[in-house]
Amino acid sequence: MDFSALCVLCVGDVMLDRYHYGAMERISPEAPVPVLRLTRTREMPGGVGNVANNILSLGGRAILVGLVGEDEAGRTLRRLLGGMAGLTDATIATAARPTVCKTRFVAANQQVVRADEESRLPLQPDEQAALVAALEAHVDCVSVLLLSDYGKGVLGPAVIAHAVSLARARGIAVFVDPKSRDFRRYRGATCITPNARELGEASGLAVEDEAEVERAARAVMAEAEADAILATRSEKGMILVERDGGAHAVRSRAREVFDVSGAGDTVIAALALAYASGRTLEQAMHIANAAAGVVVGKLGTATADLAEVMEELDLADQELGEAAGEGGSVAGLSSLPRVQGLVARWKAQGLSVGFTNGCFDILHPGHVALLASARASCDRLVVGLNTDDSVARLKGKERPVNPLAARAQVVAAVRHVDAVVGFEDDTPLSLIRSLLPDVLVKGADYAPEQVVGAAEVEAAGGRLVLARLVPNSSTTATIARIRQADRAGR
């Protein structure tokens, strides 16, 4: 994944997050409250500022639009924003309201109290005009628009409507992290990302199980005229409901630490970047879920980088294999359910999946050349191996020379191979139908119409690759030479 070419216009309530850390060692003599002895202070952009920070952490660029007060917190916030590489600070100074500042006091990794500084003043005409002008100045420079509504006043109805109109007129996707219970405010959004509680409040419906979440999502999606709703469900994962499609659920991976602070910011940042990079919403959801898994495993507001997200996806793949009853690693013989899960995961990441098959009885240069050619045609390669009974039916009762487990271990050790799975039939047609790879690879000694599964792969939008063969290289010839040498030795 590479998001370096993408720029996201982040609009909404920008804040300053302050963390005062210390130790509680005694009770105050003035009142029955603990005394916190401060040891350090940490400051960072919050609200939509944290969304922008997540965009940067994932490798993208961001333009930040919001309101900042002319006060000490505002000066601190601007200083922090100025030090963020890849960020364009397009925030607007206002004398009408203070900078939104959330100050948290933390002892022994527990938040003791939070103090908020903010104004409940409605958006003023000059503020609205300045926000609209900033949107118009920057919308042509971005790949996607992200609206982060914390209910602090920046995203008034007129600003939202103007922002969505500008983006959609240019074919730019719009992602919304909502606060209002009335999702009609976000009319025309590509995707709205409420948590389960927000979805329940907006719809007035129960959201306990997946069926209820889908029902509630479809209700508010119709009112908002949105293309999709992505409902986050904390440790239960998330559910994507598309207006013109079905519902897709993904589970969160189990972990010891589960701190959801800022997780919603990470979800929408990763989702928007992944979608803007050309992935489908379902594919983007898997990436966003992995990014959220990274940040909930950290205490406090945090971000995820690409390396952490890729590692999280790999760990999820491992759990998927264990859930499918596959105890070994992908480097050995995998069960069909595990390979199906891996293929789905790889496709969700936007990777092309290739498939080739054979007996691979005694590995020789021809085999290695075929595997290398196959891997060069795709991002991930699955190899299907005939089982021992299948090989015997095709090659005779003296074959295979090596049993399936040994053949799988050797093939999986080839660096071009990402997964190995066995199949019982004489042909891999059933296996190909279950995996539907993007690329089907076979030796050039076959004509296209002779390749089993080619029609099915091409009908699904995939392609057939016929790989060049290495002359005079085959298992049969190798066995013949071994027998000839054995006879000569006698």
Question: What is the DSSP-derived secondary structure letter of residue 234?
Answer: G
Residue with tokens 């600003």: 159
Among residues 89, 265, 388, 438, the one annotated as catalytic is 265
DSSP per residue over 5-57, as a string? T-EEEEEE-EEEEEEEEEEEEEE-SSSSSEEEEEEEEEEEEEEHHHHHHHHHH
| Integer Cα distance of 472 and 366 in angstroms | 9
- Alpha-helical (H) ranges within 170-262 are 196-203, 210-224
The answer to whether the beta carbons of residues 362 and 475 sit under 8 Å apart is: yes
Neighbours of 434 (CB within 10 A): 15
Cα 252 to Cα 217, 297, 303, 312, 320: the distances in Å are 20, 11, 17, 10, 11
Which two structure tokens, joined as six digits, stand for 440?
A: 């089907």
Beta pairing partners, 69: 94
Q: Is 265 a catalytic residue?
A: yes
8 A C-beta contact, residue 137 and residue 90: yes
326-347 burial string, b = 16+ CB within 10 Å, else e?
beeebebbbbbbbbbbbbbbbb
Q: d(Cα 304, Cα 53) in Å, to the nearest integer?
A: 10
Distance CA 351, CA 419 (A): 14
Whole-angstrom distance, CA of residue 136 vs CA of residue 138: 6
Q: Which residues are catalytic?
A: 265
